[in-house]
Amino acid sequence: MISLIKRSGYRLWQKLPRPVANLITHAVSISAGLLVALILHYLLYRFGLPSKPFIYVVF
Amino acid sequence: MNPPSQTTRLFRPASFLIGLVLGFLALVLAGRFVGHTDWHPNFVRFHPHITSETLYEPTIGELSSIIRANCRPDQILVVVGGNSIFQGVGQPVDRVWTRHLQELLGDRYAVINLAFRGAYATDGAAFAAEAMRKEFPRQIYLANIAPLNGSAPVGSDTYRFMFFDAYYKGLLTDFRARDDALENFLAHPHIYEGIHAKTRLAKVDAALRFRDFWTWWSANLFFTFPTERTPDIRTAFKPRNAFPDIEPDFETIPFEERFSDRFAQAEMEIARNYTAIYYEKDAAGAWKLFSDQEAGFHDNVRNAFPDELKPRTLLVVSRNSPYYTRQLPDDIRARDELAIRHTLAGWREAGHASIDYGLDFADTDYGDRTHLTVSGGRKLAKLVAAEIESMSERLGYLSR
């Protein structure tokens, strides 16, 4: 089943006019870049947080 | 028919890099933007779901935006810092003492409660007020302190992230003692674990603004991970602004329960030793401040706040509940009172304003050994309001 989907996708991809396929690959790569930027930015924030919350105790 | 190379170039490195750079740029700009946006409409105070107690670390931009949103340029800014006593533990949000302080001072002043539970006088609220010194030059900063407690110019370990935030974004005035304290930490990393990594991240954050952006995200869109206080799926990812301030009211808990035998022994022990480490008895039996403690206290007090900000800073010295102090031997009560006098004198000699509270408070004005009920908060507000008005007169704020 999976191989059937893969094969159909491959055929569909091959049928696309080249400019459209190019546009899609650029869009996908830019989106991947945006996503990685989001993840890296978030990880910088997470690295700065302590692993345990502050436990408030009255003195 | 398409050439086979089309299938081999699904990934475009140049486009990926463009996406990466554009993404970072957009996030940095978004961080800068939200860092100047108030995202706490109807702010009253910081409750546990918007503090380090649930791994939400407020930013200086966030505190500054709260100030900007709640204080008009024609008002005198009154920033309240300090710990849980001033934050209003045991006082529900609609009757917290700072609301009464606002009522007493009137529209000429804007009172903003930026105290955090367990914070020092020199923590986030102090840095936010300092960061706003040019925007709101007519300002008074106040915080509570225990007798003979100084306050490190770089704040407490728990809330030091706010110091780093303000310091590395260049929001603070030049202050040698603070630079020296930071240098000392950096030279002795065992004193403060992870100091080098934290300072490096703070420097990067000054450029990339990830704290501003993701803290805004956590407050408004969704929190990104479970914490000990929000472990289940229903609460873990809830935006932090969706949590209400549900501080219980001490006055709805019977007095006998608040001061039951269950707490008495531990609380009496704390009350008995409130000022014990600072004093010894001399040959004549009089209390005498240990010389090293005295020197340390004066050194701390001198270096807690930058000189230019000292005249507008009010330190309020706390007493324990009379329910406990009444049970102490006379000489220990005398030692505590002496400590209060020494503390007031120390802060005043160094150029700050300082008052104390609690001497004529009733048992019912305290919710436990140290925190105030609504009635105690009202008495505190009255004392503080009088001092703020007197400081405003002295500082020339009323003539403008």
Interval B342-362 mean pLDDT: 97
Q: Does B224 map to a domain?
A: no
Q: Is B145 helix (H, G, I), strand (E, B) or coil?
A: strand
Q: Which of B17, B21, B204 sits opposite A44 (nearest CB)?
A: B204
pLDDT of residue B343: 98
- How many angstroms separate the CA atoms of B80 and B384, rounded? 11
Q: Does B175 map to a domain?
A: no
pLDDT tens sequence across B279-290: 999 999 999 999
Residue B148 maps to which CATH number?
A: 3.40.50.1110
Q: Does B99 map to a domain?
A: yes
Q: Does B163 map to a domain?
A: no
| Whole-complex ipTM | 0.91
Look at A38 and B158 and tell me if their CB atoms are within 8 Å. Answer: no
pLDDT tens sequence across B306-332: 999 999 999 999 999 999 999 999 999
User: In chain A, which among 18-57 make CB contacts under 8 A with chain B?
Assistant: 18, 21, 25-38, 40-42, 44-50, 52-57
Question: Could you tell me the pLDDT band of residue B8, with boundaries at 50, 70 and 90?
Answer: low
Q: Does B161 map to a domain?
A: no
Question: Domain of B111?
Answer: 37-155+244-394
pLDDT of residue B10: 80
Look at B23 and A52 and tell me if their CB atoms are within 8 Å. Answer: no
Find residue B113's DSSP bridge partners.
B80
pLDDT tens sequence across B54-113: 999 999 999 999 999 999 999 999 999 999 999 999 999 999 999 999 999 999 999 999
Question: Could you tell me the pLDDT band of residue A10, with boundaries at 50, 70 and 90?
Answer: confident
Task: Return the DSSP state at B173.
Answer: P
Q: Does B145 map to a domain?
A: yes
pLDDT tens sequence across B163-173: 999 999 999 99
pTM of the model: 0.93
Give me the residue label for tokens 């009733």. Answer: B362
pLDDT tens sequence across B243-262: 999 999 999 999 999 999 88
Q: Does B318 map to a domain?
A: yes
The residue among B265, B215, B260, B259 whose CA lies nearest residue B240 is B215
Give the number of domains in chain B. 1
Average pLDDT, chain B: 95
Full 3-state SS string of B197-254: HHHHHHHHHHHHCHHHHHHHHHHHCCCCCCCCCCCCHHHHCCCHHHCCCCCCCHHHCC
Q: Does B306 map to a domain?
A: yes
Specify whether the CB–CB gap between B288 and B335 falls below 8 A. no
B377 membership: H or E segment, kind and range:
helix B374-394
Find residue B112's DSSP bridge partners.
B79
Interface check for B48 against chain A (CB to CB < 8 A): the answer is yes
